[in-house]
């Protein structure tokens, strides 16, 4: 029975979640589908394309009624899969296709800030996305280090609690504060431009 492109992407995401991005090779994806690696190239021309398709699938359900909600949904989608933030951030950095999330975020920013030009909305969306990617990658790295007890080395024997700022609640609050700061900064900037204009 043949596999589809959807099967290949799903298998790649399973390998990613089980083994991490470092070990998510075409050979391992092929093994997960019980086919030869060359069979994958009927569906994807190269690993970069597969990475872009994986990123698209990871963020396919992301939506939000406003910029902060969309950013929060994006973060949760990336954190749901091991190294998901790395995959989405890499695909975005390499501009491996149009970003529907970026376009939707720019649209939401224009709705929130009526004086914002299309160019400002795109640049503001990219700024927010850079924050979301960076915070999500840091969060993922910290949570994985905690999971594998990598942070235990060098800590005092009686240090049973997570370090300050390392709990999931702390990380969520930090993320929300960061988004609020960026959105407040955009509002002030637009007011200043409008007042001088």
pLDDT score for 1: 47
**pTM assigned to the model:** 0.86
What distance in Å separates the CA atoms of residue 147 and residue 115, rounded to the nearest whole number? 45
- Closest alpha carbon to 29 in 45, 16, 20: 16
Please choose, from the candidates 187, 72, 87, 71, the residue with its C-alpha nearest in 3D space to the C-alpha of residue 137. 87
Contact predicate 60/91, CB 8 Å: no
Backbone angles phi, psi at 83, to 5 degrees: 60, 20
Here the tokens at position 33 are 């589908």
Any idea of the CA torsion for 71, 112, 176, 193, to the nearest 10 degrees? Answer: 110
Q: Which residues of 125-163 are buried (b: 16+ CB within 10 A; e: fewer)?
A: beebbebbbebbbebbebeeebeeeeeeeeeeeeeeeee
Nearest-angstrom CA–CA distance, 6 and 9: 5
Tokens standing for residue 77: 């989608």
pLDDT tens digits for the chain (197 residues)? Answer: 478 999 999 999 999 999 999 999 999 999 999 999 999 999 999 999 999 999 999 999 998 899 999 999 999 999 999 999 999 999 988 877 658 899 999 999 999 999 899 999 999 999 999 999 999 999 999 888 887 776 554 454 444 455 555 688 899 999 999 999 999 999 998 888 878 76
């Amino acid at each position: 029975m043949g596999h589809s492109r959807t099967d290949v992407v799903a298998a790649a995401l399973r390998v990613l979640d089980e083994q991490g991005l470092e070990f998510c090779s075409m050979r391992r994806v092929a093994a997960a589908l019980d086919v030869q690696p060359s069979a994958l190239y009927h569906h994807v021309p190269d690993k970069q394309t597969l990475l872009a398709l994986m990123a698209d699938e990871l963020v396919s359900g992301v939506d939000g009624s406003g910029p902060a909600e969309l950013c929060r949904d994006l973060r949760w989608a990336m954190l749901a899969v091991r190294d998901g933030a790395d995959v989405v951030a890499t695909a975005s950095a390499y501009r491996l296709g149009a970003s529907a999330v970026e376009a939707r975020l720019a649209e939401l920013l224009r709705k929130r800030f009526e004086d914002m030009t299309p160019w400002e909305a795109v640049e503001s969306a990219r700024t927010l996305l850079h924050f979301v990617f960076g915070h999500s990658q840091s969060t993922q790295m910290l949570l994985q280090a905690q999971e594998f007890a990598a942070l235990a080395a060098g800590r005092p024997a009686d240090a049973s609690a997570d370090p300050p700022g390392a709990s999931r609640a702390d990380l969520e609050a930090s993320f929300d504060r960061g988004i609020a700061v960026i959105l407040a900064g955009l509002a002030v900037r637009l007011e200043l431009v409008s007042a001088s204009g």
